Structure formats: C-alpha cells, structure tokens
Amino acid sequence: MPDPQIDQPSDELILQHLGAAVMLCWAKLPYPARNSILEQTGDIIGLAHVPNIRHHILELLARRT
C-alpha cells in the first residue's frame, strides 16, 4: 500500500522542499529576484512575525551555502 505522506504531502513539507531548493539556487538567482524574495518574507500573512527576518535569512544562507 502506498505511503499517504508521499501521495499527499503536507503544505509544510512542500514548503520545506521549496525553501531548501531556493537556498541551493540562491547564489544563481538574479539580485532582483533575491531582493524580492527577501522583501516578501516580512509580509507573509498567517505566519508569526519574526523581527529582523531578512537578517536571519541572510545569516542562514551564509551558514548553509
């Protein structure tokens, strides 16, 4: 019997994969795309506000790339 998590992944799992892929491609993205992504992170409805999120993301990228 197929694993239901594979057939119907959660939105959270999909977003984790997307986020990891964005991190892997970050250096190859044009500056306007990177800037747009960083700008959008501070304006996500439905997620808890994280002060200085842009700074935290850039720190994470520096550690992981």
Output the pTM of the full model.
Answer: 0.76
Q: Specify the 3-state DSSP secondary structure of 29.
A: coil
pLDDT above 90 (res 6): no
For residue 49, the number of C-alpha atoms closer than 13 Å in the C-beta half-sphere is 2
pLDDT above 80 (res 3): no
Task: Spell out the domain ranges in the chain.
Answer: 27-65
Do the beta carbons of residue 53 and residue 42 sit within 8 Å? yes
Average pLDDT score over the chain:
89
Q: H-helix or E-strand containing 49?
A: none
Q: What pLDDT score does 64 carry?
A: 82
Question: What separation in angstroms does the CA of 15 have from each of 1, 9, 10, 18, 22?
Answer: 26, 10, 9, 5, 10
Do the beta carbons of residue 26 and residue 59 sit within 8 Å? no
